[in-house]
Structure 1
């Protein structure tokens, strides 16, 4: 092994470690919701890095936010990845999706995503113009989520448009219930989840022309 090769590998390891530290610091900062937490420069300072280091690792702030989102997507990928047994009931499948999202929304990653999205432009066209990489990462989430739901029901004779509608509804509904949980709702949120699950099952299993 040449001395240059050894140094290069050490440099790469240091670079990867720096990248990992910055991404983890970003998630912690974003999840806190503190004023100024959605600041790449501040996040870099939290780990003793410079804005130049962030630019070297991620290109610009758009690349940085896209990398943060991609990191959470990698972690989330296995949540519903387990294959569904053919004899698993529709009620169980829908309940699993609802419960997984509901409990997952209390995680650090989910809070970080929520706070980051709140700071980004609301209009999709404006988001794509100012943060094209971040917008593309968010769009890939939508595709991945739809594919996850389609796989969950693939062996059942369900109307594709209804599966798509349910996939579109569940994330927003779960964010609403998770918000109620954070605010300290008087409502029984277990009952709310069960009712939503039964309503979705009824919608999915009813004749498509109704």
Structure 2
């Protein structure tokens, strides 16, 4: 199913290949962390395409960035698919933390971070200038919370606390991953264990 507002084109083999090349080129460029890589024109030139080709495939730069984000979401999958639905609470929390610890250093995650750094910080401004991109990011947030709710299904904990935990885990893990990338001054295995213990204690406290 296509994203709302995106330009529809009759599929053909060459056009599909061009679209795929653009998306992969964008992810490679963005993953370098270079602020200058957040340019659809530059990415198009890197693969010998034109701005007109980008517009033909994605409509505009907003449609392009939304498609890039959607590509990473498709590859990422959902948390429930990666957690054991029969495992006890502590094991489920530890699994999610491990997933983020590894995932946030992946190429796609680096690309997303670089793109987000270049986008407007204010939600209103982001939605005004990049409505499709904003909608894709919003769907991520909603999907992440839904994934965490499913990951903790059939466990007797307060649903509101699960929402709170789902909201702060990504930011907390970005901090730990940042320490890892900078050359940690602390034992990060201990940090992950401490975060797991804190989350488990908080969720168990609602029983």
Q: What interval of TM-score do these two structures reach, taking the shorter chain for normalisation? A: over 0.9
User: Which one has the largest radius of gyration?
Assistant: 1
Tell me how far apart the structure 1 counterparts of residues 156 and 189 of structure 2 sit (CA, whole Å): 29
CA distance in 2, matches of 1:21, 1:207: 49
1-structure distance, mates of 2:175, 2:113: 12
Q: Give runs of ≥4 in structure 1 deviating > 6 Å.
A: none
Match of 1:107?
A: 106
**Pair 1:75-2:75 in alignment:** yes
Change (3 A) 1:79 1:146: closer
Q: Distance in 2 between matches of 1:191 and 1:81?
A: 26
Residue in structure 1 matched with residue 46 of structure 2 by the alignment: 46
Matches within 5 A, 1:149-164: 149-164=148-163
- C-alpha separation in 1, matches of 2:141 and 2:69: 13
Q: Which residue of 2 aligns with 1:191?
A: 190
Shift of 1:14: 0.6
1:180 paired residue number = 179
Residue segments in structure 2 that go unaligned for 5+ positions in a row = 1-9
- Shift of the alpha carbon at 1:84? 3.0
- For residues 29 and 148 of structure 2, the distance between their equivalents in structure 1, rounded to whole angstroms, comes to 31
Cα distance in 1, alignment partners of residues 39 and 80 from structure 2: 32
The 2-side partners of 1:35 and 1:160 are apart by: 39
Aligned partner of 1:144 in structure 2 is: 143
Q: TM-score, normalised by structure 2?
A: 0.92
CA distance, structure 2, for counterparts of residue 94 and residue 83 of structure 1: 9
CA RMSD in angstroms comes to 1.4
Instruction: Give the distance between the partners of 1:125 and 1:206, measured in 2 at CA.
Output: 37
**TM-score where L is the length of structure 1:** 0.91
